[in-house]
Amino acid sequence: MSRPPREFDRRRLMAWMARAGLAAGGLPLAGIAGAWPRNVDPNPKLADYPFTLGVASGDPAVDGFVIWTRIAPRPNEPHGGMAPAPVLVQWEVSEAENFAVLAAQGTALASPELAHSVHVEVGGLRPDRPYFYRFRIAGHVSATGRSRSLPLPHARLDRLRFAVAGCQHYEHGFYTAWRHIAAEPVDFIFHYGDYIYETNEKGDDTITLQGNSYPRARRHNAPEPISLDDYRRRYALGKQDADLQAAHAAAPFWVSFDDHEVDNDWADAVDQDGTPPEVFLYRRAAAFQAYYEHMPLRRQSMPDGPRMAMHRAARYGDLLNGFVLDTRQHRSDQIPGPYYAPITPEVADPRRTMLGAEQEAWLFNALNRSDTRWNLIAQQVMLMHLSLADKATGTQGYNLDRWSGYLHSRRRLLDHIDRACPGNVVTVSGDAHLHYAGDLVQDQGSGKIIASEFLATSISSGADGQGDDTMHSRHALAHNQALKAVCDRRGYVLCDVGREVWHADLKVIDRVTRPDGALSTWRRLAVERGHPGVVPA
């Protein structure tokens, strides 16, 4: 009699890998006798440059960070132009840009099962230091990346700077904003999601968005992705962009996904097309694997099929505790209705959740223990509860894909912030393709201000946009006392955090349908510690 298959035990696998001395992503480190697979190619012949997708770092810690690359000499071909065999990649880390003295070095395995991507969890470095890193294979040397370790937990920190960005539809515009972010003196970058778009825009030379026509910037090279290979090609296309590569090489990223990395408006095991959940989860597993393969993530975020651990925290000395959330994987399904829908009793049903019980408890416990000057909640979708009007029908309502569609979760979060960390919480988010900045109050109106939100507009999604004097912006400001600023341009938010004041510059690019857009600061705003609420700086 055959035995039933053993259930996959991820903890057991990780424990085995730790005992075996395996590197990040389940790949062996150099110096472990017999650790390399038998089919490893020790001397690959790569006539083409293999680092076509650039380098990146992320998830910094006190003693290091993750460094990433992918070996893809022909990135638009299946398997990136690589043979189906693992290869060895050398990596180096130094405090000097010329790598005169190495702080760490080693060899990692680039496996075809993970698209020949490399995730090295570098440790043993000094705290609060900039470091440079690079990779080598077959005589080729990658671009040099720059990262930074975290300060010691209780070290005094007077200033922290970071950028908030995301929503980069390849067909809507050029990634000019990333080039400007690369030039900013930031400690890290938070990417709130929509790194790729699974959708392909219709039309030839122009695209139409909300009734406005724009010249098409560029075109996806394949149909909507469904399989793992499809998603890999979509990432490879976007990551060849020089501006995006420059930003990744300039500073460590904290990343999280939203919906378009999988499928528009997906929630938990439900997609927008009514696909049976057990079928959709196969697509989600493929999308998650491709996401992991192309992001500077730690082993703890390696997908387990259609599940991926993405909520995590970082402490920047005594100045800031940061919490990266996942508002897509654990949420209840959206309530059906128009784009801007009325609030019904179902919206506030306590059984509906945005974060799921485990993630919410993790966040609440962390806020209870926090003793830093500021707390950052970095997540994907708008937390402000804004009453907006549908452009086509004029109907007043709320976007129920955001926290407005999960009012019980929203009330619980704001109540907990008010109790645990009054006056020192700022949230950053995205998804809406416009700059929004404002106060967080319970429900809507002129209640007590609990925290503040800066929602970063898109890198390219929405094309050039319509500016700040639109019917939407005038209506939104007139009907929402908590809203302080709104602008329909592309760009990012630059946060400059001091011990008493948090400044936020809302950066805009005048156009993204051409690659030479100009950068400006549309609005400079501030939040004073102990006095939540967005004010002009």
Express each pLDDT in 224-249 by its tens digit. Answer: 999 999 999 999 999 999 999 999 99
User: By mean pLDDT, which of 207-216, 253-262, 384-393, 439-448 is the weakest?
Assistant: 384-393
pLDDT of amino acid 8: 39
Which tokens in the block code for residue 496?
């400059």
Which tokens in the block code for residue 357?
């019980």
Instruction: Give residue 39's identity as a one-letter amino acid code.
Output: N
- Please tell me the class of the 10-148 domain: mainly beta
Going by pLDDT thresholds of 50, 70 and 90, the confidence category of residue 310 is: very high
- Judge residue 240's burial from the number of C-beta atoms within 10 Å of its C-beta, 0-12 exposed, 13-18 middle, 19 or more buried: middle
Instruction: Please state, as a whole number, how many other Cβ atoms lie within 10 Å of the Cβ of residue 514.
Output: 13
Exposed e or buried b per residue across 247-272, where buried means at least 16 C-beta atoms within 10 angstroms of its C-beta: bbbbbbbbbbbbbbbbbeebbbbbbe
**pLDDT score of 499 more than 90:** yes
**pLDDT score of 1 more than 90:** no
Going by pLDDT thresholds of 50, 70 and 90, the confidence category of residue 15 is: very low
pLDDT of amino acid 3: 33
> CB under 8 Å to 110, separation ≥6 — which residues?
27, 70, 71, 86, 87, 88, 89, 116, 117, 118, 137
Going by pLDDT thresholds of 50, 70 and 90, the confidence category of residue 534 is: very high
- How far is the C-alpha of 503 from the C-alpha of 86, rounded, in Å? 47
Higher confidence at residue 469 or residue 5? 469
Beta strands 253-255 and 312-316: pairing type?
unpaired
pLDDT of amino acid 5: 34
Give the mean pLDDT of the chain.
Answer: 93
Beta strands 130-137 and 483-487: pairing type?
unpaired
Q: Which CATH architecture has domain 160-536?
A: 4-Layer Sandwich (3.60)
Rg (CA), the chain: 23
Average pLDDT (432-452) is 94
pTM, two decimal places? 0.94
pLDDT of amino acid 133: 99
Going by pLDDT thresholds of 50, 70 and 90, the confidence category of residue 31 is: very low
Going by pLDDT thresholds of 50, 70 and 90, the confidence category of residue 264 is: very high
Write the DSSP assignment of 52-90 as a string of letters.
Answer: TT-EEEEEEETTEEEEEEE--SSTTSGGGG--SS-EEEE
In 3D space, the residue among 110, 44, 27, 81 whose CA is nearest the CA of residue 236 turns out to be 81
- How far is the C-alpha of 435 from the C-alpha of 59, rounded, in Å? 26
Residue corresponding to tokens 């990433």: 68
**pLDDT score of 256 more than 50:** yes
> pLDDT per residue over 45-65, tens digit each?
999 999 999 999 999 999 999
Provide, for the chain, the percentages of residues in helix, strand and coil under a 3-state DSSP scheme, each rounded to the nearest 5: 20, 30, 50
Q: Please, what is the end-to-end C-alpha distance for the chain in angstroms?
A: 74
pLDDT of amino acid 329: 98
Average pLDDT (500-523) is 97
- Give me the percent of the chain exceeding a pLDDT of 90: 88
pLDDT of amino acid 211: 86
Count helices and strands (H / E) in the chain.
8, 28
Please name the residue ranges forming H helices in 251-400.
277-293, 357-369
Widest CA span of the chain, in angstroms?
Answer: 74
pLDDT of amino acid 261: 98
Please name the residue ranges forming H helices in 215-315.
228-239, 242-250, 277-293
**pLDDT score of 12 more than 90:** no
**pLDDT score of 497 more than 60:** yes
Beta strands 159-165 and 102-110: pairing type?
unpaired
> pLDDT per residue over 370-415, tens digit each?
999 999 999 999 999 999 987 767 778 999 999 999 999 999 999 9
Are 398 and 262 in contact, with CB atoms under 8 Å apart? Answer: no
pLDDT of amino acid 35: 76
Average pLDDT (510-529) is 97
- How far is the C-alpha of 68 from the C-alpha of 57, rounded, in Å? 6
- How far is the C-alpha of 252 from the C-alpha of 104, rounded, in Å? 17
Indicate where the chain has its CATH 3.60.21.70 domain(s): 160-536
- Judge residue 185's burial from the number of C-beta atoms within 10 Å of its C-beta, 0-12 exposed, 13-18 middle, 19 or more buried: exposed
Instruction: Please state, as a whole number, how many other Cβ atoms lie within 10 Å of the Cβ of residue 58.
Output: 24
- Helices 228-239 and 277-293 pack at an angle, to 10 degrees, of 40
- Give me the percent of the chain exceeding a pLDDT of 70: 93
Kindly report the length of the chain: 537
pLDDT of amino acid 202: 87
- How far is the C-alpha of 487 from the C-alpha of 346, rounded, in Å? 31
**pLDDT score of 426 more than 90:** yes
Residue 474's alpha-carbon distances to 29, 77, 380, 419, 487, in angstroms, are 57, 48, 24, 34, 10
Average pLDDT (157-174) is 98
- Region of 127 on the Ramachandran plot (φ > 0 left; ψ -120 to 50 alpha; else beta): beta
- How far is the C-alpha of 148 from the C-alpha of 365, rounded, in Å? 27
Residue 50's alpha-carbon distances to 84, 116, 145, 292, 359, in angstroms, are 15, 10, 16, 19, 38
Average pLDDT (491-505) is 98
pLDDT of amino acid 23: 42
- Region of 140 on the Ramachandran plot (φ > 0 left; ψ -120 to 50 alpha; else beta): beta
Query: Starting at the edge strand that comes first in sequence, how are the strands of the sheet with 117-122 ordered?
Result: 117-122, 64-70, 55-61, 253-255, 188-191, 159-165, 490-498, 501-509, 519-528, 531-536
pLDDT of amino acid 17: 45
> pLDDT per residue over 321-352, tens digit each?
999 999 999 999 999 988 899 999 999 999 99
Beta strands 320-324 and 145-148: pairing type?
unpaired
**pLDDT score of 2 more than 50:** no
Average pLDDT (451-463) is 98
Beta strands 312-316 and 64-70: pairing type?
unpaired
pLDDT of amino acid 204: 83
pLDDT of amino acid 446: 77
pLDDT of amino acid 396: 87
- How far is the C-alpha of 164 from the C-alpha of 526, rounded, in Å? 15
Residue corresponding to tokens 């996401």: 291
Going by pLDDT thresholds of 50, 70 and 90, the confidence category of residue 34 is: very low
Going by pLDDT thresholds of 50, 70 and 90, the confidence category of residue 314 is: very high
**pLDDT score of 25 more than 70:** no
Indicate where the chain has its CATH 2.60.40.380 domain(s): 10-148
Average pLDDT (69-81) is 97
Average pLDDT (3-23) is 41
In 3D space, the residue among 214, 236, 118, 292 whose CA is nearest the CA of residue 464 turns out to be 214
- How far is the C-alpha of 218 from the C-alpha of 173, rounded, in Å? 7
User: By mean pLDDT, which of 107-121, 433-447, 492-506 is the weakest?
Assistant: 433-447
Which tokens in the block code for residue 125?
């470095």
Average pLDDT (115-144) is 98
pLDDT of amino acid 113: 97
Which tokens in the block code for residue 182?
């690369």
pLDDT of amino acid 266: 98
**pLDDT score of 179 more than 50:** yes
Which tokens in the block code for residue 48?
């083409």
pLDDT of amino acid 188: 98
Are 67 and 91 in contact, with CB atoms under 8 Å apart? Answer: yes
pLDDT of amino acid 210: 85
